[in-house]
Structure 1
Amino acid sequence: THPDFNCPTPEGPIPDCGALTAAVVAATGVEPVVVGKPAVHMIDAFCAKYGTARNTLAMVGDRLYTDIAMGINAGILAVLVLSGETTADDLITATHRPDLVLKDLGEAAGLLVP
């Protein structure tokens, strides 16, 4: 699970995992175990499976509370792209601060090392 309440689509937002999980929590009173963003389980599993050092990884995303929080929690480079949910104004009061802020994924692609 992850706590994202909606997922953007060209037709407008649709319910995402966080919205569905909230309904189950309301009905059962049981909190979920979050293994997706912002938890670090996926990063841990990736590093273990591929023998990858964390200092070679980056988490790139558009949501401060999941994508950037995951990068911070995992101790890897946290890169925010401003082409999705988060705006530059959101950074003023952000709890989770990215290491790098880019306009979009195109700009991120230009930073990749072959």
Structure 2
Amino acid sequence: MPRYRDMHRALPYARDGALAVVELKSDPLIGWAMETHAVNLVDGQTTLESWNPAQRTRLEDIHSYGNNGWSRGFGADGAERVLPDLLAGGVGRDIILGFMVARGHDEDSVERLAAIIEKVM
């Protein structure tokens, strides 16, 4: 039952192996599961992406803007420009944050992004 910080620490160790995760409501990992094509151990199904190609591009843009952890300035401003389109298109907060965890962003960065999401909602 990892929090975002735990995932950031565990992922490098699991690169060539398995990682079993039970999601917490406080730190949803559906976006991580979609991005990594995680297998649901209850039903054996692979977690499918719910975004379209244009939305994936926007997720990649937000990931790129996160190179400074979405701190004030360029990174935060860029994310603020991209997020409304994603959110309006049905890509929710949990998916966005989990995707960023899958891309290696740490808990502090993800929390800053969560605050930006709340601001633009």
Is the TM value for this pair above 0.5? Answer: no
Largest Rg, 1 or 2 = 1
TM-score normalized by structure 1?
0.28
Higher relative contact order (CA 8 A, sep 6+): 2
Name whichever structure is richer in strand by fraction.
1
